[in-house]
A and B are shown apart, each in its own frame.
Chain A
Amino acid sequence: MGILPQLILESLLLGTFYAFMSLGFSLMWGVLNIINLAYGTYIILGAYTAYTLYTGLGVDPLLSIPFSFLLGLSFGVLLQRVLIDRVMRLEPFMVLILTFGLDVFLSNLLNLIFRADIRSIDVPYAERSFVIGPVIVTEVKVLVFFLSLLLTGAVYVLLQKTWTGRSIRAVALDREGAQIVGISPGKVFAVTSGLGTGIAFSSGNLYGVLQGFTPFDGGMLTVKAFLVSIVGGLGRVESALAGGLFLGFLEVFTAFYLGEGWKFFASLLVMFLFLLIRPRGLLGGKYYGEV
């Protein structure tokens, strides 16, 4: 026994957050067939939004989640309409370069405004924890866990039960088929991009509560979102959960047994191997995205 229950708990809590965090990336990839390299910086933008609201107006970062979501939603729709729609018609890898440029632009803009110092949102309940049997539970991690679960559930309901969600899934399945039954892919792309960016921004609030951040942490977060998406398969909530938990376990266990330094390497290696051997992911159906 010993440390094992603690590690498993940490992995579960972290993994569920990763699942929610990556949901937007996975959706955009699955539905629009674009890999958004600026995604991690969207999360960081959300974290800075929560930070500014907290230090400026005293709004609790967990309460400002809806605001971050709406901000991300508008930002995502705007970017899709102004930038990405135009480039999507070209080779798919052009979107990679475009979003990389966007990432460089946004992270340097943040650096200009906030400087490169590590910021953290020091909520009063950040340090509280309690003990259950063999494990120590940090309150804030549990809070983030439940919120992630709740929000992931909300996205699931949106995708499964509403007409917006159904049309998103229809376009992901078969773009032309969706057009035949009267769905406009252009609109669905804008909605998906908005939803995805909204998810990224609002997960930034949670990320900011969990740990400190700098303007240049986006790249690493993009890799995490990518790994979650590729392991689970694209565009589905169940897949993101599977991928998120996988990443949670991978990170916690590598960090504990091999050292913190190997954590990122482990993620990248697994990502490389998955792409090489099974680019569809563990649960990926044959129609989500194309290989």
Chain B
Amino acid sequence: MGKYERLIFFLLLAMGLLPPLLTDYWERVLTLSLMLSSLSLAQNILLGYTGYPAFGCVAFFGIGGYTTALLMKDLGLPFWVSLPIGGVVSALFALLIAPPLMRLKSHYFAITTLALQLALGELVANLEFTGGAQGINLPIYVGPGGYLIFFYLFLLLTIFAFLLNVYVERSTFGYALKAIREDETAAETMGVNTVLFKSVSFSMMALITGLSGGVYAYWITYIDPTSMFDPLLSVKIFVALLLGGVGTVAGPLLGAFTLEFLSEVLWGRFPKVHGVVLGLLIVLIVLIIPRGIWRR
């Protein structure tokens, strides 16, 4: 790890010491920021290093969340078993659809993943065993730490995603991804197995996103298709990435925290016009700082 990366790593570890100082409100804001961080870091592996914008990445958030919830509710499995399974199911599904899906590029790829996300949401809303449009109720977490456990789970996930980003930044695997990003045909000519590498990068994104969905499901204890396959969450991930800086290890964290804090401040100050301001914010970020605060 380089100097900056080590600094960020220790800052993240230090965040674990914060909770005793926090009010419930700030604990919630930080937990949300960490969730968005993990999602943005996940997307960064794909968009930042491989150059594929999975605009509908929240599809995997939903898959992870629903798998975890259904395993807990229908099979009675404990959360600690259900969550990893949720992540793995999400990653395997990604691995399965990646080869045909990743023949598409740029906005065609983006919109296809979005179609997948919306279609899965509709499917879940129409099926019986997923609870339909009414959604699923989960047991409330009782155990050591209380609700603080979710803060730590998202923190752990963020650290895991961050380390994965650092690995991609420095490893041969990462160089192959970057080669695909810069020029896929050239990469293939040089002997990079592009289909395999793209698919693995896609599954890495899906793994973290799925795990994040699983933690989120247990955190809010009630999930429905609208909240688990929300397009607004997709766009928030992308805006966080753009704001922070795509293709860097620090950018996604910076973007996610900035966006979540901005969003919270706006929510608090102007609850009625929150949506209007959020829309305006997205437009302004794309217009003014499309390359982000932290440049590659």
Give A contacts to B, CB under 8 Å. Answer: 34-35, 83, 86-87, 90-98, 100-109, 111-112, 219, 223, 226, 261-262, 264-265, 268-269, 271-272, 275-276, 279, 291
Contacts and interface: CB of A to CB of B under 8 A. Distances in A.
B104 A279 contact: yes
Interface in B98-151: 100-101, 104, 106-108, 110-112, 115-116, 118-119, 122-123, 125-126
Contact of A105 (B100, B242, B276): B276
B16 interface: no
A262 B235 contact: no
A80 to B, nearest CB: 14
A92 B294 CA distance: 21
Nearest to B278: A104
A268 B122 contact: yes
B142 to A, nearest CB: 36
A-B pairs with lowest CB-CB distance, top 7: A105-B279, A101-B282, A108-B275, A104-B279, A268-B119, A265-B122, A275-B112
Given A219-B231, A276-B112, A101 B283 contact: yes
Contacts of B290: 87, 90, 94
A146 to B, nearest CB: 32
A291 B108 CA distance: 7
A87 B290 CA distance: 9
B104 A108 contact: no
B282 to A, nearest CB: 3
Contacts of A87: 286-287, 290
Interface in B203-222: none
Contacts of A268: 115, 118-119, 122
A98 B231 contact: no
Interface residues of B, number: 40
A272 B116 contact: yes
B119 A98 contact: no
Contacts of B155: none
B108 A111 contact: no
A268 B118 CA distance: 7
A129 B232 CA distance: 41
A96 B276 contact: no
Contacts of B100: 276
A94 B125 CA distance: 30
B289 to A, nearest CB: 12
B282 A100 contact: yes
A87 B279 CA distance: 16
B111 A226 contact: yes
B119 A269 contact: yes
Given A93-B106, A269-B119, A100 B235 contact: yes
A31 to B, nearest CB: 15
B276 A109 contact: yes
A279 B53 CA distance: 17
A105 B275 CA distance: 6
B108 A108 contact: no
Nearest to B280: A105
Contacts of A92: 106-107
A272 B121 CA distance: 13
Contacts of B283: 83, 98, 101-102, 105
A101 B279 contact: yes
A279 B105 CA distance: 11
A87 B281 CA distance: 15
Given A101-B282, A104-B279, A86 B287 contact: yes
A92 B282 CA distance: 16
A106 B280 CA distance: 9
Contacts of A90: 290
A284 to B, nearest CB: 13
Nearest to B110: A93
B22 interface: no
A107 B242 CA distance: 23
21 contacts: A83-B283, A87-B286, A87-B287, A90-B290, A91-B106, A93-B106, A94-B242, A94-B286, A94-B290, A95-B107, A96-B53, A97-B239, A98-B287, A101-B280, A104-B235, A105-B280, A106-B279, A107-B275, A262-B126, A265-B119, A291-B108
